[in-house]
């Protein structure tokens, strides 16, 4: 609820307070307590780290094109530097970049667990891991097997997979090497106190999906006709038919629906794979939940039934949906616990980069935070960047953009917006980044870091936000090229250790206080430049003052006098312990 208007000095200062009330928790999907204290880290497996040298993806796995001299791209190679084989296909960077493979695998992730623990991570969100030809894996070939190239024995795995006559039948499913190595990876994460959720891409498949391939082969005689929506049969079409696909992307055919659910065989298959990865048996604990892709394209009946099935498999599982705006109906209809909280990003960017003012920020935040039962708000994934956005570095570099508008996808993609700024941010903008992180880690909701943001990785939107991760033991070429203009200011592509240490610091602060994980909140405008955010739980409180201006601010609050440097913050607890940011 909204409370009170008080006066401080010669200006009005509005205080907004949200009270937590258990009775507001209307959904029967109980929010898992563990999810309220998680520090999330998103991993894009193909680009995170390569552990094995012998399991390189082959060109034929993902392309029918005969590319002379094609090879795996080394992690340390400059992103915009093109190999000979790329130049021979096209003179345009964005025409060939998706033919690259870097070979990230589970062994690489396993080798990185101590790095993640050092950072302070307690939860992992993995982009799709199931068998698929693309680098991003949102075009699944099957959902009951892990991609063989994420494991140690791709060829052996393919032999097992190819023996399946009816892939939709769980009775035929065997465990491949990659399947087992994935389950073992989850066990190691759990042993180190880290939860794991994975991408559930259930709206659509790829064209290589076993059911769709059978329709291409057998046409009207396929036993999988009711898995997809065939609009009409057309002999002069290369497939022989026209089908419904996700947002018109022909490489992503949509699974067929009934009136308010998925068609029965599709639904059964999805429910079967959910059970497989949540309760695999054989002594393995399985995943801790799902991030559901493109849920706004899926009917509510299916999502509601899916949620019941997930919770039935594991009572304390977490269900996160991909939603880009405020949509409480998905939570109130018992379909999921929370979302990837993009509106959180929009509000913080409007405050610190787009200069819309503290009053505007408080209004937007209160609207966001009061849109859901507060228990659900506490497990929203508060993020700035992901595999579908520009990097945080570049969001800061390109201030003034309204990220809540749908056209931001085009405007943040360098191939469409040639003047979109790339490169590392300077010292002054580093102050803005730290303030954004302060707000992220003291706000209601669970903070999520997109891999590499903690070491200063930069990049425009897809595909440039999906560069290979920076590691200490890999030497990286300097960045000197621009995909459109040819050259750019030369910069070292190196780890920002100071930024990494700041992430460690703010994560430790977040973990120290229960109020920051479970507490209520209060917003107050001290003056036009100072925002006060208070989190409190029982007798514990944490107050954060954020100076959004470029001048030193001196002010009084609650009979205490403060000085805060330009573009800085001060965090104070109820014992008088304070942190200057």
Q: Could you give the domains of the chain?
A: 1-20+341-581 (3.20.20), 204-254 (3.90.400.10)
How does pLDDT run across 503-539, given as a tens digit for each residue? 999 999 999 999 999 999 999 999 999 999 999 999 9
Strands 530-537 and 40-43: unpaired
Q: What is the pTM of this model?
A: 0.95
- pLDDT at residue 28 in the model: 65
- Peptide bond connecting 233 to the previous residue in cis, omega within 30 degrees of 0: no
Compute the mean pLDDT over every residue in the chain, rounded to the nearest whole number: 94
Q: Is the pLDDT of residue 7 over 70?
A: no
Task: Provide the residue count of the chain.
Answer: 581
Q: What angle do CA 121, 125, 130 make, to 5 degrees?
A: 140
- pLDDT at residue 25 in the model: 44
- pLDDT at residue 17 in the model: 54
Count helices and strands (H / E) in the chain.
20, 21
- Given a contact cutoff of 8 angstroms between Cβ atoms, the answer to whether 164 and 148 are in contact is no
- 56 Cβ neighbours under 8 A, 6+ residues apart: 72, 101, 103, 149
Strand residue runs (E) in 344-417: 381-382
What does the block give as tokens for 297? 């394209």
Q: Rounded CA gap, 439 and 451, in Å?
A: 19
Long-range contacts of 240-245 (CB under 8 A, 24+ apart): 240/216, 241/215, 245/204
pLDDT above 90 covers a percentage of the chain that reads: 94
Over residues 121-150, the mean pLDDT reads: 98
Q: Is the pLDDT of residue 6 over 90?
A: no
């Amino acid at each position: 609820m909204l409370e009170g208007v008080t006066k401080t000095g010669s200006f009005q200062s509005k205080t907004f307070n949200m009270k937590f009330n258990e009775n507001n928790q209307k959904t029967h999907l109980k929010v898992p307590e563990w999810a309220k204290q998680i520090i999330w880290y998103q991993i894009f497996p193909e680009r995170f780290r390569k552990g094995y040298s012998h399991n390189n993806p082959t060109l034929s796995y993902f392309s029918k094109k005969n590319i002379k001299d094609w090879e795996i791209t080394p992690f340390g190679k400059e992103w915009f530097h093109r190999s000979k084989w790329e130049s021979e296909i096209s003179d345009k960077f964005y025409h060939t970049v998706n033919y690259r493979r870097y070979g990230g695998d589970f062994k690489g992730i396993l080798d990185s667990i101590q790095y993640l623990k050092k950072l302070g991570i307690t939860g992992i969100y993995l982009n799709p891991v199931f068998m698929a030809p693309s680098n991003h894996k949102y075009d699944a070939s099957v959902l009951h097997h892990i991609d063989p190239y994420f494991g140690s024995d791709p060829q052996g795995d393919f032999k097992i997979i190819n023996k399946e006559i009816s892939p939709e039948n769980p009775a035929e499913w065997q465990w491949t090497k990659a399947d087992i190595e994935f389950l073992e990876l989850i066990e190691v994460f759990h042993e180190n106190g880290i939860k794991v959720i994975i991408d559930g891409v259930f709206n659509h498949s790829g064209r290589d999906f076993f059911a769709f391939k059978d329709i291409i082969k057998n046409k009207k005689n396929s036993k999988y006709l009711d898995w997809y929506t065939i609009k009409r049969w057309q002999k002069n079409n290369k497939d022989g038919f026209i089908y419904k696909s996700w947002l018109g992307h022909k490489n992503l055919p949509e699974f067929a629906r009934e009136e308010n659910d998925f068609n029965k065989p599709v639904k059964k298959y999805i429910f079967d794979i959910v059970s497989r990865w949540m309760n695999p048996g054989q002594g393995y604990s399985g995943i801790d939940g799902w991030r559901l892709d493109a849920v706004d394209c899926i009917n509510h009946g299916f999502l509601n039934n899916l949620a019941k099935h997930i919770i039935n498999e594991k009572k304390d599982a977490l269900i996160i949906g991909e939603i880009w705006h405020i949509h409480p109906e998905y939570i109130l209809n018992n379909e999921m616990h929370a979302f990837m909280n993009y509106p959180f990003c929009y509000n913080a960017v409007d405050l610190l980069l787009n200069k819309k003012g503290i009053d505007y920020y408080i209004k937007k935040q209160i609207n966001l935070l009061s849109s859901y039962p507060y228990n659900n708000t506490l497990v929203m994934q508060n993020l700035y960047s992901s595999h579908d956005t520009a990097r945080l570095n570049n969001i800061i570099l390109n201030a003034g953009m309204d990220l809540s508008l749908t056209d931001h996808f085009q405007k943040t993609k360098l191939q469409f917006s040639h003047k979109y700024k790339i490169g590392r941010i300077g010292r002054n903008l580093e102050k803005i980044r730290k303030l954004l992180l302060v707000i992220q880690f003291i706000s209601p909701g669970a903070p999520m870091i997109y891999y590499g943001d903690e070491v200063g990785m930069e990049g425009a939107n897809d595909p440039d936000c999906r560069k290979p991760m920076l590691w200490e033991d890999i030497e990286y070429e300097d960045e000197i090229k621009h995909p459109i203009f040819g050259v750019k200011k030369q910069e070292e592509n190196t780890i920002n250790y100071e930024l990494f240490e700041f992430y460690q610091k703010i994560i430790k602060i977040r973990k120290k206080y229960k109020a920051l994980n479970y507490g209520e909140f209060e917003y107050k405008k001290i003056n036009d430049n100072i925002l006060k955010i208070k989190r409190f739980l029982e007798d514990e409180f944490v107050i954060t003052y954020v100076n959004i201006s470029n001048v030193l601010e001196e002010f009084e609050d609650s009979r205490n006098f403060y000085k805060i440097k330009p573009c800085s913050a001060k965090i104070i607890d109820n014992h008088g312990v304070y942190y200057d940011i």
